[in-house]
Homo-oligomer: A and B are copies of this chain.
Amino acid sequence: MALIVQKFGGSSVKDAEHLRNVAEIVTSRYREGNDVVVVVSAQGDTTDDLIEKAKEINPNGSKREMDQLMTAGEQISAALLAMTIENMGFPAVSLLGWQAGFTTSSAYGSARIKRVDPERIRAELSRRNIVVVTGFQGLNRYDDMTTLGRGGSDTSAVAIAAAMHADLCQIYTDVDGVYTADPRKVNGARKLDFISYDEMLELATLGAQVLNNRSVEMAKKYHIELEVLSSLTREKGTIVKEVTNVEKMLITGVAKDDNIARLSILGVPDRPGLAFKIFSKLAQKNINVDIILQSIGRNGTKDISFTVEKDKMQSAIDLLRDYIETLGATAIVADDNVAKVSIVGSGMESHPGVAADMFEALFEANINIRMISTSEIKISVLIDKADGARAVQTIHDKFFDALS
C-alpha cells in the first residue's frame, strides 16, 4: 500500500472516452489498496479556446482576469474525471487548487508554488476517496486564483508528491517515456529505463518536451522519483531519479533544437567590459542568450557570436544595430539557418573521449561544426540547419549502435 500521485495532461482527458481510459488507470492502482491523488490539466483545447474567447474581447486583458478565466479549464476536467470514476463504482472527489492547499506567489500567469498544505487531500484519502486535483493553479495572498504557466500541471503533481511524501509520482503524457533521441525521427532511438534529474533537465532545455523543467527541478530538490509514461499503453515508462554511479550511462540522449539563431558582432575592440555591456543590454530586454563564442583577438579587435531563440532574433538585431557604433564594432550579422545538436550524459564526466567521438561522427558525415559549447554532462554543437536530422542520426548511431 502506497501513496501514488498521477498526473494526466490535456490530451489524456480530452473527451469522455479518454476520461474513461484515465479512470481505468487510476482505479486499477486504487483497487490494489493504494491511496491515489490524480492531477489533471484542462481538457484538450480548452485552455486555447478560453484564451481565444478572451482575445476576441480584449487583446490586453489583465493577467488577473486571464487567470480567473483559465482556472475554469481544470475545474471542468477535474469534476468530469471524478464523475467518470464515480460511474465506475469508486468514490472520488475533485478539489480545486485552493481546496487542495496550493498557495502561490502573486504573479498572475506565471505564479510559483510557495506552499502546499495537503490537509484536505489527506482528509479525503482517509475517507478512501480517490482525490482529483486541478493542476496548473493555486491561490495567492490576495485570495485570487493564479496559474503556474504552461506545463504547470507537472509541477503541481510533483509539489503534492513532495508535500505528502508520496511513494511515486507518475507523469502520464502522449509519449511512453524518455528516449535516446526523438523516436519519430531517429532510427534506433530507444526508451530509457532510467535517467538522472540533471540529464533530464539538460534534455528538457534542449527541446525534448517531455517534462516541464520546473517540475524536474522540484523533484530533484525533494528527491521525488518521477515516472514518465503514456496513458495509452500500459507499459513501463522512464524513471527519473538520482541515478547512482553504477547505472550511469555514457550518454543518455541526443537532442536537436531548430528554434535558434546565431548573431555575430564583428570587429569589437579588444577592451574589457564590452561583452558584459552587450549581454546585459540583451538581458534587460528578456532576450536569453545560449551558446557564446568569442574569437581570439586579432589586430586589436575580436568577434563575439551567440545564439538566441529564433523569434528573438529580430529584436536582438534592432537592439544592437545602433549600439555597435557606440561600441566601436563594425557590423552585426545574423543567421537562423542553424540547428543545435546536443548529447547529454552524466557518464561523460569521467570519460574524456566523448566529445572527440561526437566530433568524429560529424566529420565522417561531412558536417561542419560552427560553434561548440560544453558543460559537465552536455556537449552542444551548432551546425547548418540542413544537416540537423543527419547529424542526430549519425551521432546516435555512433553512441548507441555500439551498445546494442
A interface, CB within 8 angstroms of B: 16, 19-20, 50, 53-54, 56-58, 60-62, 64-66, 68-69, 71-72, 75-76, 78-80, 82-84, 86-87, 92-94, 96, 99, 120, 143-145
Contacts and interface: CB of A to CB of B under 8 A. Distances in A.
B72 A54 contact: no
Given A16-B56, A143-B99, A75 B69 contact: yes
A72 B75 contact: yes
Nearest to A87: B58
A338 to B, nearest CB: 40
A72 B83 contact: no
Q: Kindly report how many copies of this chain are found in the complex they form together.
A: 2
B80 A64 contact: no
Contact of A83 (B58, B93, B144): B58
Contact of A65 (B60, B61, B71, B82): B82
12 contacts: A16-B56, A19-B57, A57-B80, A57-B87, A61-B83, A62-B82, A65-B83, A65-B93, A66-B83, A68-B78, A69-B80, A120-B143
A57 B79 CA distance: 11
Contact of A61 (B69, B78, B86): B86
A93 B69 CA distance: 12
Nearest to A73: B72
Among all A-B residue pairs, the 6 with the closest Cβ atoms? A69-B79, A58-B87, A61-B83, A72-B72, A58-B83, A68-B79
A79 B120 CA distance: 27
Contact of A80 (B19, B53, B83): B53
A78 B78 CA distance: 21
In this complex, the member of A75, A92, A93 whose beta carbon has the largest number of chain B beta carbons within 10 angstroms is A75
B69 A50 contact: no
Contacts of A83: 54, 57-58, 61-62, 65-66, 69
B82 A68 contact: yes
Contacts of A68: 75, 78-79, 82, 94, 96
Contacts of A96: 68, 145
B76 A94 contact: no
Given A68-B78, A80-B54, A86 B62 contact: yes
A96 B75 CA distance: 13
In this complex, the member of A19, A50, A82, A83 whose beta carbon has the largest number of chain B beta carbons within 10 angstroms is A83
Given A53-B80, A69-B79, 13 more contacts: A16-B57, A19-B57, A20-B57, A53-B76, A57-B84, A57-B87, A60-B87, A62-B86, A65-B82, A65-B93, A66-B83, A68-B78, A72-B79
A104 to B, nearest CB: 16
B57 A76 contact: no
